[in-house]
Amino acid sequence: MITGTVTDPKGETLIGVSVVVKNKSVQTITDVNGKYRIKAAPQDTLVFSYIGMETKEYYVKNRKEINAILEEKEQSMKEVVVIGYSTQQRKDVTGAISSLKIKDDLSASYSSFDQMLQGQLSGVQVQSVSGTPGAGGAVRIRGVGSINGGNDPLYVIDGIPMDTEDGSELTDLFGASYQSPLSLIDPSDIESIDVLKDAAAASIYGSRATNGVILITTKKGRTGRTSFSVNMSSGISQVHNLPEMADTDLYLTVMNEAYSNYNRDNNYQPGDPGYQPLLEDPRGPDYPGDYDWVRLPFRDDTPVTQRYSISMRGGSSDTKFYTALSYYDQEGIIKTNRLRRINFRSNIDHIISSKVNFGVTIGLAHSINNRVPSENGNYGYILRSFPQRPFDRPYKEDGSYAIGGVDLRYHNVQAMVNESTSDYKIYQANASTYLNWKLTKDLIYKPQLSLIFNTNNDFYNRTTDFPNMDSYNGYTRESRSTAIRYVLQHTLTYKTLIKERLGLTAMAGQSYEHYNRSYVVASGWDFPTKEFTYIRSAASFGANGYAYASTLISHFGRLDLSWDDKYLLSATVRADGSSKFPKGGMWGVFPSASVSWRISKENFMKGFDAINDWKFRLSWGMTGEQSGVGYYTAQRYMGAEAPYYGSAGITLESPGNDQLSWEKAEQINIGTDAVLFNDRLNVSLDYYIKNTHGLLFNKPMPATYGYKTKLVNIGRMQNSGFELTLKTVNVKSRNFEWTSNLSFTTLKNEVKQLMEGNKPVYVGNYHILEIGKPVGSFYLYKQEGIYQYDEEVPENLYKSGVRAGDMKYALDENGNPVRMIVGKAMPDWYGGFTNTFKFYGFDLNVSLSFQYGNDILNIFRSGYSDRLGQMDANMLKESAENRWTGPGTSNTYPRALFNSEYNSMASDRYLEDGSFLKLREITLGYTLPVDWVKHLKLKYLRIYATAQNLLTWTKYSGMDPEVSYTLSPREMGQDFFGTPNPRMYLVGLSLNF
């Protein structure tokens, strides 16, 4: 008699598995505990089979116990896809939807869910724009959808639309260290992620779907014995690719050369008022060596990351549950930077009767973020540390702080680190309950009520010893906010099959959503001592506060028709009414239609055995976007923040716009999906064109109007491109498996129409919006080399002081340097390539991501390190060593010259190729055999090691080609001393019992 247990790779028992003695009539099935008993001889073979799982064979030999492990079978066209208010099998999908099924053995190594998307799905670009823990990344689906509004997709978690609005009023102090509310999601709670990319798939979400929709489904309970899962990991972070600055010898050489050139150009002699004396060597006999200012902002010790989670999963035929608790703690690479997060989730589903079932979802999260200034213009740690002179030190001989502008070139970063405190706390609660009521065998009514609650408390203090605090004795600023969103949804779904050939599914729904947020911001200054930090202890203080609310009412419907499982038609429509818009334009209607043809079902395809499934798709649809519209922007309103000679006053804050409307996008998509060679090769190819109309833009207004800008709808923008997904099973044998996943996306963005006259719109100092060009185009002076001889310099430039060794720019018809479009921030193409290997109990996952064709403006070079003596800041070693010192010495780097802006004008000298290939992650794991771990009373035990951001291949000279100063599409592609993404090394343990 042979006995045993049948489980999945995670140790979950499988009920009803068929166990057969090969070539005999002896068979049985596993019981509710996954156990079986069967008679078999030593020469027999047992065959284990289960729906949706790979069939396994085990040779009996002399064994009395055989524990079988069945793995999920790849059935691409049968996988369930979330489509918005419903689900479908992949074979029935008519729109462009990409899906990612989360594997437990990989999710444990990620700190945020958006990291799991990097390079995995075509059409989805994810950039880690800052290396600070919890920082919001840039997620873009098929390019940018707006120039002034939001470009983030709509996130829906278990049917609940999520809020991505920044909850703090202090974020301007910290640059790109904005913490996304989505950073509170625990990746290990996620079951699957479905991305609605084209308008046919996304239009069911109407006015918030232009940027795509990401549907996140969390784990649910399973029938069977309760199982517990424990995951633990710990690791370290490491900053890398730091720039090499000039040492004291090189610094003094360049600076004295800059002063000499300045004196010579201006004919200054010693004693003249403008003469610049040369620097003397400040190093004495006891000089301890140059100070490493580049390392100063970063931790002296090794930053540690820890993660612990425990979950419980199980259920009966009537009640299923999943409950999880986790803790995450990450120290950033910048001193004092740290993020801690705790999560709790409970999902319960219960069947009341054959007609009624209901479920409850509860998610709680709390985080504490000790933020640090990143791209802050005055107090960014990296910004103020790298350019310090190499012979200076953060402390004076008496132990007090060196003073910026007196002892140092810039603010003292050591004082900023020691004399400031940041404490940003977020509390989040999500709760949802639904009811499925089967009114008839074909008609189901589903109401769902959801509540999302967020409260934030952001505290920031600078003591009296913080730089530039001469005017007051300490400063504290505190922000508190509360946000509540209520969502009530009703759907009625009718599904039937007519005469065994016509499948019909009709869904109608209604949604009511109300959102309100309130802020209180207070500041206090002049404290008795630095130990007092709370505002109540301040001698002076001030406060501000406001509140706003919005309501969204929606009606929506979908009709799906399928004839003979070959010809499919889907049509959706949604009408949204938003309180953000004026009375005459509150409502917007967003329709879509899509068809697909399953060619493989045709009779003429019967001889093509290599083609398991082949489908052609065509779709059209309209979506909208309202995230760029303020809560009262459409209305003319007054503000009371205008005191007049000591008396209260009011002023016009918004001129209103009764013509303000939605941004609308019309999208056409053509695609095909194919499954070949018994699911060994899956191919998906799409081509899309998305035209966005009525772009939101803050139009500059004359100052005499009393306000600077007015939000209006202008112009049109187009995104187009190809998307390719390849999933392959390269090798599959009993003990070895190799699978690959390639995602590849091309992107072309073009501005089609602007304001009256279609005149170019200049954005900031470096960008332009122009017809026929991409959003985010760089508008800079173009370098054509270096003037090698004075005779080469045009007369008008020579008179203004330009000499041999200075920059040679492209000139206009008047002989003056002229700006032009010289690059773009958007890539031509991007994607990822992931390979997974399994050999006996070992698994290896290697993930690459790449992008090509984008440019990065290196403001670190333009603002500081490449100025070569123009200021007395330190400089990059490479730039200093390769500067022009005479004819033929350089055609890239100019001469050293003090007090001249000409060589440092915003030019393409600082514009670099931002293309990169990253070894995003490599994970090696080992799962111990079941026969080993059962002696430990365990069902599953896996150990693993992970390295993230291990290698980057790029021509970009900065620390990280992904870092960006802003997420705004108008000014993206700027690297302004951003915190780079660190390398991370983790080891972990996962077990089930």
Measured CA to CA, the distance from residue 474 to residue 539 in angstroms comes to 10
Beta carbons of 241 and 131 less than 8 angstroms apart: no
Helix (H, G, I), strand (E, B) or coil at 385: helix
Beta carbons of 92 and 560 less than 8 angstroms apart: yes
Q: How distant, in Å, are the alpha carbons of 100, 762, 774, 969, 973 from that of 143? A: 20, 21, 11, 10, 14
The phi, psi pair for 923, rounded to 5°, reads: -125, 130
709-716 mean pLDDT:
84
The phi, psi pair for 197, rounded to 5°, reads: -100, -45
Using one digit for the tens of pLDDT, what is the confidence trace for 895-915?
999 999 999 999 999 999 999
pLDDT in the model for residue 935: 85
SS3 content of the chain, % helix, strand, coil (to 5): 10, 50, 40
Asked if the model's pLDDT at residue 106 lies above 90, the reply is no
Q: What region, left, alpha or beta, does residue 123 occupy, with left being phi > 0 and alpha being psi -120 to 50 degrees?
A: left
Quote the DSSP letter at residue 281: P
* Half-sphere exposure at residue 904, Cβ-oriented, CA atoms within 13 angstroms: 20
867-885 mean pLDDT:
93
Amino acid, single-letter form, for residue 373? P
Q: Which of 186-195, 320-329, 754-763 is least confident?
A: 754-763
Distance of CA 266 to the CA centre of its chain: 51
- The token duo for 437 is 């009521």
Average pLDDT, the chain: 90
* Half-sphere exposure at residue 811, Cβ-oriented, CA atoms within 13 angstroms: 12
Using one digit for the tens of pLDDT, what is the confidence trace for 675-708?
999 889 999 999 999 999 988 887 777 766 667 7
Helix (H, G, I), strand (E, B) or coil at 909: helix
Distance of CA 221 to the CA centre of its chain: 29
pLDDT in the model for residue 77: 62
Share of the chain above pLDDT 70, in %: 96
Using one digit for the tens of pLDDT, what is the confidence trace for 465-484?
999 887 789 999 999 999 99
Beta carbons of 738 and 788 less than 8 angstroms apart: no
- The token duo for 900 is 């001249």
Contacts (Cβ under 8 Å, ≥6 apart) of 813: none
Asked if the model's pLDDT at residue 856 lies above 70, the reply is yes
DSSP string, 194-221: EEE-SHHHHGGGGGG-TT-EEEEEE---
Burial of 864 (0-12, 13-18, 19+ CB in 10 A): buried
Contacts (Cβ under 8 Å, ≥6 apart) of 625: 145, 146, 149, 150, 207, 208, 209, 210, 211, 662, 663, 664, 665
Helix (H, G, I), strand (E, B) or coil at 657: coil
Tell which residue, 41, 38, 42, has the closest CA to residue 68.
38
Beta carbons of 335 and 415 less than 8 angstroms apart: no
- The token duo for 540 is 């002076």
Measured CA to CA, the distance from residue 441 to residue 427 in angstroms comes to 43
Helix (H, G, I), strand (E, B) or coil at 920: strand
The phi, psi pair for 884, rounded to 5°, reads: -75, 130
Quote the DSSP letter at residue 343: E
Beta carbons of 947 and 921 less than 8 angstroms apart: yes
Quote the DSSP letter at residue 408: B
Helix (H, G, I), strand (E, B) or coil at 527: coil
Quote the DSSP letter at residue 332: -
pLDDT in the model for residue 735: 86
pLDDT in the model for residue 582: 84
More confident site: 179 or 243: 243
Beta carbons of 48 and 56 less than 8 angstroms apart: yes
Beta carbons of 969 and 146 less than 8 angstroms apart: yes
Burial of 543 (0-12, 13-18, 19+ CB in 10 A): exposed
* Half-sphere exposure at residue 596, Cβ-oriented, CA atoms within 13 angstroms: 30
The phi, psi pair for 166, rounded to 5°, reads: -65, 130
Beta carbons of 221 and 645 less than 8 angstroms apart: no
Q: What region, left, alpha or beta, does residue 706 occupy, with left being phi > 0 and alpha being psi -120 to 50 degrees?
A: left
Using one digit for the tens of pLDDT, what is the confidence trace for 309-350?
999 999 988 999 999 999 999 999 999 999 999 999 999 999
pLDDT in the model for residue 640: 64
Using one digit for the tens of pLDDT, what is the confidence trace for 8-66?
887 788 888 999 999 888 999 998 888 999 999 998 999 998 877 888 888 898 888 99
Length of the chain: 993
pLDDT in the model for residue 280: 94
Distance of CA 375 to the CA centre of its chain: 18
Largest CA distance in the chain: 111
